A and B are shown apart, each in its own frame.
Chain A
Amino acid sequence: MAGESMRDVMIEARRPPNAHRGVLKWLQRNLFNGPINSVVSVVTIGVLLWVLWPFVQWALIQADWLGDSRQACSGEGACWVFISARFESIIYGFYPEAARWRVDIVFALMAGLLAWLAIPRIPGKRWAAVIAVVGFPIAAYFLLLGGHFGLMHVSTRNWGGLMLTLTVATIGIVGSLPIGIILALGRRSNMPLVRAVSVVFIEFWRGVPLITVLFMASVMLPLFVPTEVEFDKLLRALVGIMLFWSAYMAEVIRGGLQAIPSGQDEAGKALGLGYWHRMGLIVLPQALKLVIPGIVNTFIALFKDTSLVLIIGLFDLLAIIRAGLTDSDWLGFATEGYVFAALVFWVFCFSMSRYSQYIEKRLQTGHTN
């Protein structure tokens, strides 16, 4: 039998047995590596299942997804039709349908820029930063607001939904960081006037609740400013949010500045570097890296608190969903609405948190002296 030792089909290399790799191995190593640990794991998993199972059943298994009216829902589980039927308004608010492509472009530009900035392998970070700081805001301004280049003007009163939430959050984040840096440096300045102004500014904004700031911006500001100057309500809210959060940001950054040994600044001085060079090249890069968790924490708080703009009549994501709840055709879907809103907020905030952890690891340059 000559053919016996020959094969006409190649056999694929077999994967190692499951117990030696992947999930099972991980489970064994981490959850079941001893009697006590195993018991704890089993109990914990049991409790989690017991608590979460009804939710999973409601949200996924018995839920209804498709349709365009409440008749599509059986009422057993969640009625996600409530969300999908008004998905457009959740994204765009009252933005005119004919112009929504402009919002889409801004979303796409923002996603592209974020990817360019955030993924280390893509080259040309300097260009990305310039475009993000200069080009993008200008493009977004003209696209979203319109009124030029033959684009229909869309008043900020019609902005809403996720689009408004992202606008407020982005401008808040992008604005509060540099202002916070300036304030933090100011508070540590050895010029008494600069220091005093920074301290007063920070303590004022930290001392008032954001709701008060928003009310003041929308109700009180018009009392002081001559009526001819018509400030946009959104703009006023934006300024309030930016200044409010820059005060928090300043204190986070100041913590970082204080942690940098004075020898770093002295070494910069000894090399003949001026104040802004020392701060920009030596002290701030180290201080900011140190407080990335605090900065991102502030970003996350800011992102979530954008929903407070609903109290001055702006319709952000949460407000749009709440407005939907009062629609007489759709009464009784509050849970779906809030769960969905929570999910959207969570996705954004969790992404920020994960990205910050990744960046922190990347910036690690060995133990510091």
Chain B
Amino acid sequence: MSQATATSHGDTPMIEMTGLNKWYGDFHVLRDIDLTVKRGERIVVCGPSGSGKSTLIRCINHLETHQQGEIVVNGVPMTQDVKRIEQIRRNVGMVFQHFNLFPHLSVLENCCLSQTWVQKKPRAEAEKTAMEYLERVQIADQAYKYPGQLSGGQQQRVAIARALCMRPEVMLFDEPTSALDPEMIKEVLDVMVELAREGMTMLCVTHEMGFAKTVADRVIFMDQGQIIEEAPPETFFNNPRSERTKLFLSQILGH
């Protein structure tokens, strides 16, 4: 246990992946991924459908298992040990494409659940934290509603608040706006931009290039399970090196 204690200070990178490989049966989804995310860094991951973006970020909190290579999160190396995995997950917040709120619990209860059962906080304290974060995503007035009674954009903001309630050191976003109607995308992106400004370490899979230009320190382009290109947004959008990136950008930017 002792070597698993997180070193939450110093220069240890937030996430460090080396030589990561993953297969689904014969299908090689992730090929030799090396990626380091420093503390406070904001990274946007993009790439064509099926390129392995989701799989990559889901490996970070062990929603997917990898077969080769190493992942170190906040100084804690990933193993198969359940306790270790749960320890890592407590430091890593995740927001899903389809929100995945718990429909049988109210918004407030959604936000209190893991505070109560994982962090063992007293009820009152958990609710206070929850209301704080719901306030931050501007949805505190809906705290007593059930997820089914909210719009998509509202649900996704609740999902962000729910993840933040655990006070994670890094946030993973897997296409957080792609299940939303256009008019709701902005309210979610605004919350994410705000979060980035506050210095949260973020790893976002998204095709919102405006968001990438505003907040990303680096944009990563993936294709067929490989990281093809990795550059600051200006370089990435204005001077992409690889042909595949150029093709992807021309498709996604629509010219």
Give the interface of A toward B (CB within 8 A): 261, 263-264, 266-275, 277, 281-282, 285-286, 289, 363, 365-369
A270 to B99, CA, bound (A): 12
Interface size on B, residues (CB 8 A): 31
Give the interface of B toward A (CB within 8 A): 61-63, 82, 86-87, 89-90, 92-94, 96, 98-104, 113-114, 117-118, 146-149, 155, 162-163, 166
Q: Which chain B residues lie closer than 8 Å to A274 at the CB level? A: 82, 86
Q: State whether B104 touches A365 (Cβ < 8 A).
A: yes
Query: Which of these, B86, B87, B102, B148, contacts A267 with CB under 8 Å?
Result: B102
Query: Which of these, B82, B96, B148, B149, contacts A263 with CB under 8 Å?
Result: B96
Q: State whether B146 touches A269 (Cβ < 8 A).
A: no
Query: Which of these, B63, B102, B118, B162, contacts A264 with CB under 8 Å?
Result: B102
Asked if A273 meets B118 with Cβ closer than 8 Å, knowing A366-B148, A369-B148, the reply is: yes
Q: State whether A366 touches B96 (Cβ < 8 A).
A: no
Distance (Å) between the CB of A364 and the closest chain B CB?
A: 9
Report 12 cross-chain contacts, Cβ distance below 8 Å, ordered by A residue.
A261-B98, A263-B98, A266-B63, A266-B96, A267-B101, A270-B61, A271-B166, A272-B166, A275-B82, A281-B113, A366-B148, A369-B99
Knowing that A263-B100, A267-B96, A268-B114 touch, tell me 13 more A-B residue pairs with CB under 8 angstroms. A263-B98, A266-B100, A267-B101, A271-B89, A271-B113, A271-B118, A273-B113, A275-B82, A277-B118, A282-B113, A286-B103, A365-B148, A368-B148
Distance (Å) between the CB of A328 and the closest chain B CB?
A: 60
A268 to B86, CA, bound (A): 11
Closest A residue, CB atoms, query B150: A366
Q: Which chain B residues lie closer than 8 Å to A267 at the CB level? A: 94, 96, 100-102
Closest B residue, CB atoms, query A275: B82
Q: Which chain A residues lie closer than 8 Å to B96 at the CB level? A: 263, 266-267, 270
Closest A residue, CB atoms, query B159: A267
Closest A residue, CB atoms, query B119: A272
Q: Which chain A residues lie closer than 8 Å to B61 at the CB level? A: 269-270
Q: Which chain A residues lie closer than 8 Å to B86 at the CB level? A: 272-274
Q: State whether A272 touches B90 (Cβ < 8 A).
A: yes
Q: State whether B113 touches A369 (Cβ < 8 A).
A: no
Closest A residue, CB atoms, query B99: A369
Q: State whether A369 touches B147 (Cβ < 8 A).
A: yes
Closest A residue, CB atoms, query B114: A271
Query: Which of these, A269, A272, A275, A368, contacts B103 with CB under 8 Å?
Result: A368
Q: Which chain A residues lie closer than 8 Å to B100 at the CB level? A: 261, 263-264, 266-267
